[in-house]
Each structure stands twice: as C-alpha cells, then as structure tokens.
Amino acid sequence: MLNKTIETALNKQIRIEAESSQIYLAMAVWAEVKGLEGVANFMYAQSDEEREHMLKLVKFINERGGQAFISELNAPNVTFSSFKEMFEKLFEHEQFVSNSINELVHITLQEKDYTTHNFLQWYVAEQIEEEAVARTILDKINLIGDDKGGLYLFDRDIKQLTVIS
C-alpha cells in the first residue's frame, strides 16, 4: 500500500512524463513542418515513449492501492530558432527528468518504501540511456553546424538511432 507522500510524489511524476510527451510532440510537429522527416519521426517516437512512462506510473499507483491523478498540463514550447536549440532543449529536459526521478528515489528511501524504490530503478536506468542518446545527438549537431548537406544526412541517419525509450 502506498503512503500519501509517495502517492503524491508519483502523481507529480505522472504530470512530468505527460508534459514530456507533449513537449516532444510539439518538437515532432516543428520538425515535420520544417521538412525533416527523420527528426520528426524520432520525436514522435519519443513522445509515445513518454506516454508509456506515464502509463507505467498510472498502473503502478492504482495497483498499489492509490489513485493516479490526471492533471492539466503546461503548454509546451512550439517553436525553436534552430534544430540545435531544439535538441539542446531535449537534453536539458531529460536532465530535469533525471533529477526528478532521483528526488523520487530519495523520497522512497526516506519513507522506507522499498517496493516503489525497486519499481523506480527502471526509470533510473532509462534516464541514463535517454541522456546518453540526447548527448550523442547534440554532439552530431555540433559537428554539422550550419551545413545544410550535413543536416540532410543527419535527418537520414537519425532513423537508425536507437529510439530513446
């Protein structure tokens, strides 16, 4: 059974995952209208993954005797000055999510809730992977700079990049 502190903290994370999904959906749309299909598909997949992260929390809370709270969401940023800026924002956002997961893990230890602590290890591992992929993409973008041909190739190559899960 979840205690109230844990339930509230997990519900806060539901909102973060849902907002992440919206943020990446807005990035997908922006990339699509800019004509970069590879980047757009990557971001659509990212958005779906974040929704999965959210649903995993919803199920866990309900199964543990709590009730998942579905809240309103903040509107995401819908426009970017460049792809570099967009991927910088993605990286920053993933770091923010990692901090939030770490904080959650900390709370489970304080509350001695080892079941939730164990459940959260999946998110801890996931964040390591997500940050690594985001960093790899940023490194590539930095190499490309303003080169249009490079961006074209990047758009093609990103299809091969492991989708962040």
Q: Which residues bind ligand OFO (CB under 6 A)?
A: 17, 20, 50, 53, 94, 97, 123, 126, 130
Q: How far is CA 56 from CA 11, 41, 108, 123, 132, in A?
A: 12, 23, 17, 10, 22
- What residues contact 29, with CB distance under 8 A and at least 6 apart? 40, 78
User: What's the CA angle centered on 164, arms 17 and 145, to 5 degrees?
Assistant: 110
Annotated ligand binding at 121? The verdict is no
Q: Which is nearer to ligand OFO, 24 or 83 (CB)?
A: 24
Instruction: Report in angstroms how near the CB of residue 8 gets to ligand OFO at its nearest.
Output: 18
| CA dist., res. 12 & res. 104, Å (int) | 10
CB-based contact 83:151 (threshold 8 Å): yes
What's the closest the beta carbon of residue 73 comes to ligand OFO, in angstroms? 14
Q: How far is the CB of 118 from ligand OFO (least distance, A)?
A: 16
Minimum Å gap between C-beta 22 and ligand OFO is 12
Alpha-carbon distance of 23 to 60, in angstroms, equals: 24
CB of 60 to ligand OFO, least distance (A): 13
Closer CB to ligand OFO, residue 91 or residue 152?
91
Q: Which is nearer to ligand OFO, 94 or 151 (CB)?
A: 94
User: Among residues 34 and 51, whose Cβ is nearest to ligand OFO?
Assistant: 51
State both tokens at 55: 């649903």
126 a known binding residue?
no
Residue 17 in marked binding region = yes
Is 127 labelled a binding residue?
yes
DSSP state of 158: G
Burial (CB count <10 Å: 0-12, 13-18, 19+), residue 32: middle
Q: Nearer to ligand OFO by C-beta: 9 or 97? A: 97
Binding residues for Fe cation: 17, 50, 53, 94, 127
